[in-house]
Amino acid sequence: MYKQAAEVLYRFWWEEAGTSTEEQRLEIHRLALLGKEEKKAAEVASGLVHRWWKQSRYREALQLCKSTLEITEDYRLLKVMGYCESQVGEVDLALKHYQQALNLCPLEEKEELSALQHCLAMLKANSGEITEAIALFQQSLALFEQIG
């Protein structure tokens, strides 16, 4: 039942409407989690947490990522977790989640890979691991230049 409800609301509020409220997205996400709709849960969560990250709603974003990652692995959510954790002082967790995101990110997602390498490089630089940071910055730059 949850799966069907998630599918219907996803179609009406997410795909066909073009825009949806935060409350509608949270309801789609809630139902997708209950119905084990991994892809829908991850996609909706990714959209929500990306907005929350920009609004400095780090703890809310972390909680939504954690609940979604209980049913699926998603590099986008791990990236947001890393960023939010770095903002709230959880540097070790941020490093771990950025690395997991890098390991899961498809090679064809060059823009995401470049962004992940850049984020990881920033953390390494701030932690005094300059050599590792420079190597990651160079990898990120190379991918960024490939993208154009």
| 61 within 8 A of 53, measured Cβ to Cβ | yes
User: HSE of 51 in the Cβ direction (CA atoms, 13 Å)?
Assistant: 11
CA distance 109 to 122: 20
So what's the pLDDT on residue 14? Answer: 85
So what's the pLDDT on residue 147? Answer: 87
**pLDDT confidence bin for 15, thresholds 50/70/90:** confident
Per-residue pLDDT tens for 39-97?
999 999 999 999 999 999 999 999 999 999 999 999 999 999 999 999 999 999 999 99
Amino acid at 92: D
**pLDDT confidence bin for 98, thresholds 50/70/90:** very high
Q: Give the residue from 9, 119, 122 showing the smallest Cα distance to 53.
A: 119
So what's the pLDDT on residue 22? Answer: 95
So what's the pLDDT on residue 148? Answer: 81
CA distance 111 to 113: 5
- pLDDT value at 18 more than 80: no
